[in-house]
Amino acid sequence: MSSPTTTRPRSVVARLALAAVLAAGGVLAGPAGVAQAASPYERGPAPTTAILEASRGPFATASQSVSSLSVVGFGGGVIYYPTSTSEGTFGAIAISPGFTASWSSISWLGPRIASHGFVVIGIETNTRLDQPDSRGRQLLAALDYLTERSSVRSRIDSSRLAVAGHSMGGGGSLEAASSRPSLQAAVPLAPWNTDKSWSELRVPTLIIGGESDSVAPVATHSVPFYNSIPASAEKAYLELNGASHFFPQTTNTPTARQMVAWLKRFVDDDTRYEQFLCPGPSGSQIQEYRNTCPSA
């Protein structure tokens, strides 16, 4: 992991600047004094629970395969992206599967997230046995490919990037966030890693764990990971009631809802999604939810 850094992610700086303007009674304005959205990166309609819980978001999407022979640093994968070009560029996220798994094991996440206005690359790892540190480097290599060489690079804002992953891929997303503090968000799902302390993280991080996970028990993985991340980085922990280690391998509405809301809030600086983070989700599917509210 990299050494601690005091570099603030762009989204944090933007939020502080926005708070200062609003506290002073200011109004963000565009040409000729026309009021503008709080964030220039807002994409799509005003969010609702129904939109977040639907099987697809408001954007039509397309996908394309990426051959391992055409990339360096990771094993290829699949890119999902909004087909619209009328709303400007989009943020992007790279997602890694877990130990011994292929992207197909969690591929439902690709079109689901892309349909809310993100470019997504679901990666294949160099080998199925790659450890979290390797998966972290591969996630960053995939982001570099997306923004520098992919056919969809013109659709992406390279300053608004995120990582996620399942199991060792989730542990890899922590490694990537540690190595590249300029990332705007990280979402580890049932993360596994032998390193339990992430006090150097400065990237807004949502960890989602399963109450009944016996592979990466939350008591020895997700919870200590969450506790070790400084509150100044912005963090949240969602624990799913009765869920096993493999909850991301089938369509999971609480996971999708919270993941999209987190990405919209921190990658897009879209404060319209704050309502889904603070106070956060509740109900029979939720065992526990913690957050460093308020994040605005």
Domains and CATH numbers, the chain: 49-291 (3.40.50.1820)
pLDDT digits (tens, 9 = 90+) for 275-294: 999 999 999 999 999 999 87
pLDDT digits (tens, 9 = 90+) for 36-48: 456 899 999 999 9
- Compute the distance between CA of residue 5 and CA of residue 41 in angstroms, rounded to an integer: 26
Q: Which two tokens stand for residue 90?
A: 């989009």
pLDDT digits (tens, 9 = 90+) for 79-89: 999 999 999 99
Of these residues, 245, 268, 270, 295, which one is catalytic?
Answer: 245
> Across residues 249-267, what is the average pLDDT?
98
Q: Which two tokens stand for residue 212?
A: 């009944």
CA angle 62–109–276, rounded 5-degree value: 110
- Compute the distance between CA of residue 141 and CA of residue 73 in angstroms, rounded to an integer: 5
- Compute the distance between CA of residue 72 and CA of residue 66 in angstroms, rounded to an integer: 11
Cross-strand bridge partners of residue 162:
93, 185
- Residue 189: what are its φ and ψ, rounded to 5°? -110, 120
Q: Catalytic site residue 116? A: no
Of these residues, 144, 213, 268, 270, which one is catalytic?
Answer: 213
pLDDT digits (tens, 9 = 90+) for 112-166: 999 999 999 999 999 999 999 999 999 999 999 999 999 999 999 999 999 999 9
Sheet holding 61-66, edge to edge: 61-66, 77-82, 118-123, 90-96, 156-166, 185-189, 205-210, 235-240, 286-291
Residues in the chain: 296
Least confident interval from 88-92, 104-108, 212-216, 231-235: 231-235
Q: Which of 181, 273, 194, 193 is nearest to 236 (CA)?
A: 273
pLDDT digits (tens, 9 = 90+) for 65-107: 999 999 999 999 999 999 999 999 999 999 999 999 999 999 9
Of these residues, 39, 105, 150, 167, which one is catalytic?
Answer: 167
- Residue 230: what are its φ and ψ, rounded to 5°? -65, 145
Supply the pLDDT for residue 296. 56
Q: Which of 181, 236, 192 is nearest to 214 (CA)?
A: 192
226 HSE (CA, 13 A, CB side): 25
Q: Catalytic site residue 245? A: yes
Q: Which of 285, 193, 198 is nearest to 235 (CA)?
A: 198
Q: pTM for this structure? A: 0.88
**Is the peptide bond preceding residue 82 cis, with omega within 30 degrees of 0?**
no
Q: Catalytic site residue 213? A: yes
> Across residues 26-44, what is the average pLDDT?
58
